[in-house]
Amino acid sequence: MAKSLGRWCPISDRVVVAKLVAKPLNLGIIQVYAPTSDSEDVEVEKFYEEIEKAKGYLKFQDIITVMGDFNAKVRDERIEDVVGPSGLGTVNVRGSRLIEWCKINDFIITNTWYQNHPRRRWTWKSPGDRSRNKIDYILIQKQF
């Protein structure tokens, strides 16, 4: 497995990129931990700039996956070809920003396209189990 790791680079404390050598195409994995919903918009924009910087470490022909905790909620209805019908809840401001980024960069939110049992649809549970949300996503380029 160690031979498969072509390179990796921590962009910040919120974003890291790894390139895996594979055939027929290499895999680029960008792992993220987004600012919380309490964070300022400036910090959120910096986070998306860091994702763009991470993409710069990868080649155009690499299969690029961006995954992790986006602290975003996208709704449970299809939004163009970005969000599938198996999201959860209603979209919030961070969710709108994530959807906008996906549209601009031609990514889809893959784990909203596959139907799961209700107990497997959420990725975060509030203290005291008052609410459950899906805030962790796996994004991939539309062409793949």
| Residue 90 in tokens | 């209603």
CA 103-106-109 angle, to 5 degrees, is 75
| Residue 2 in tokens | 């160690």
pLDDT per position as a tens digit, 56-68: 999 888 999 999 9
| Residue 47 in tokens | 């986070």
What gap in Å lies between CA 78 and CA 22, rounded to an integer? 32
CA 62 to chain centre: 17
Q: Do strands 63-69 and 27-33 pair parallel, antiparallel, or not at all (unpaired)?
A: parallel
- Residue 108 has a pLDDT of 95
pLDDT per position as a tens digit, 1-54: 677 888 889 999 999 999 999 889 999 999 999 998 788 889 999 999 999 999
- Residue 95 has a pLDDT of 85
- Residue 79 has a pLDDT of 76
pLDDT at 112 over 90: no
The mean pLDDT of 66-78, rounded to a whole number, is 83
What gap in Å lies between CA 107 and CA 90, rounded to an integer? 20
- Residue 102 has a pLDDT of 95
Q: What percent of the chain has pLDDT over 90?
A: 44
What domains are defined for the chain? 2-141 (3.60.10.10)
Mean pLDDT value across the chain: 84
pLDDT at 85 over 70: yes
DSSP 101: H
Where does residue 80 rank: exposed (0-12), middle (13-18), buried (19+ CB within 10 A)? exposed
- Residue 30 has a pLDDT of 96
- Residue 55 has a pLDDT of 94
- Residue 68 has a pLDDT of 92
